Amino acid sequence: MSETTDIDMLRYCRSQTGRHIMLLVRSPSEVINPLLFFLLVIILFPLGLGPDREQLSVLAPGILWVVALLANLMICMRLFVDDFEDGSLEQLAMARVPLAIAVLPQLVASWLASGLLLSLVSPLFGLMLGLSMDVTPVLVASLLMGTAIMLLLGAVGSALTVGVQRGGMLLALLVLPLYVPVLIAGTRALNEALYGGDPYVALALLGAGVTGGLILAPLAIAAGLRVSLEL
């Protein structure tokens, strides 16, 4: 019997990433809904707070980050549900690839469809909240990293709760406390950039979070899925 080589694993991950991207393209609502949610909330805030640009731009970093966090939570609630119900997760566990690696393709595809997309359109949303265009690079960079961390953390919670009927609330309780440091670092980076400070400390923290998350989260996700699948 031939051994599983790294090349096999790479090819497997590539084909699975393709599968997940195809699935997201075929059901665009899963991609568009979080973005639409983001847009709606951003539209509502100026209506509720009044059109004072000064006030809005003070609140903008917090608003953008909180909405990004909630949109991310929406994505995490759906993350493994379909695959759990139709037996795909079982088959994933049957693949002769460590489960921690086999879950990576889905995470990559989900992040491309959520975090990357959200980060790229965020300058537009920032503009709607009167955020200065000067901080756009910091906004995009912080969201790119922040959404990745939140997706990784959310996936751990999602893996643990996928077997629970209506586990959405449980998931929120599990992962929201973990999201708080990300939220603080993200808004901190933006505020520093807005008021002439140094945003790089907070950005570096987020970068460290992504690195650590990429190494540790897949192991936790695999362990969580094993619990949910009763492996």
Partner 1 sequence: MTTSLLEARDLSIHKGLRQLLKGVNLRVESGDIWQLAGSNGIGKTSLLRSFARLASIEVYGDLSRCDDVLYSGHSAALKGALSPRQNLKYHPSGLCIPSDSEIDDALASVGLSGYENALTARLSAGQKRRVALARLFLPTGRLWLLDEPFTALDVAGVEVLEQRFKAHAHAGGAVVFTSHQSADLGDRLNVLDLEQFRGE
- What is the C-alpha to C-alpha distance for residues 121 and 173, in angstroms, rounded to an integer? 28
Nearest to 221 by CA among 130, 98, 133, 132: 98
What is the spatial distance between Cα 24 and Cα 51, in angstroms, rounded to a whole number? 37
Contact 166, 127 (CB under 8 A): no
Q: Tokens for 218, please give them.
A: 């897949």
160 counts as binding partner 1 under rule CB under 8 A: no
Q: Which of 39, 59, 93, 101 binds partner 1 (CB under 8 A)?
A: 93
Nearest C-alpha neighbor of 16 from the set 78, 118, 89, 117: 89
Applying CB under 8 A, does 97 fall inside the site for partner 1?
yes
**Nearer of residues 18 and 197 to partner 1, judged by Cβ:** 18
Q: Which is nearer to partner 1, 86 or 134 (CB)?
A: 86
Mutual angle of helices 117-128 and 29-49, in 10-degree steps: 20
Joined tokens for residue 20: 């997940």
Contacts with partner 1, 101-140, as mask; x by CB under 8 A: -x--------------------------------------
Which of the residues 21 through 60 are near partner 1 (CB under 8 A)? 22-23, 26-27
Q: How far is CA 186 from the centre of its chain?
A: 14
**Interface segment toward partner 1; rule CB under 8 A; list 92-100, 115-123, 185-193, 194-202:** 92-100
Question: Please, which residue, 16 or 161, has the CB nearer to partner 1?
Answer: 16
CB of 108 to partner 1, least distance (A): 14
Q: Which residues bind partner 1 (CB under 8 A)?
A: 1, 4, 8, 11-12, 15-16, 18-19, 22-23, 26-27, 83, 85-97, 102, 229-231
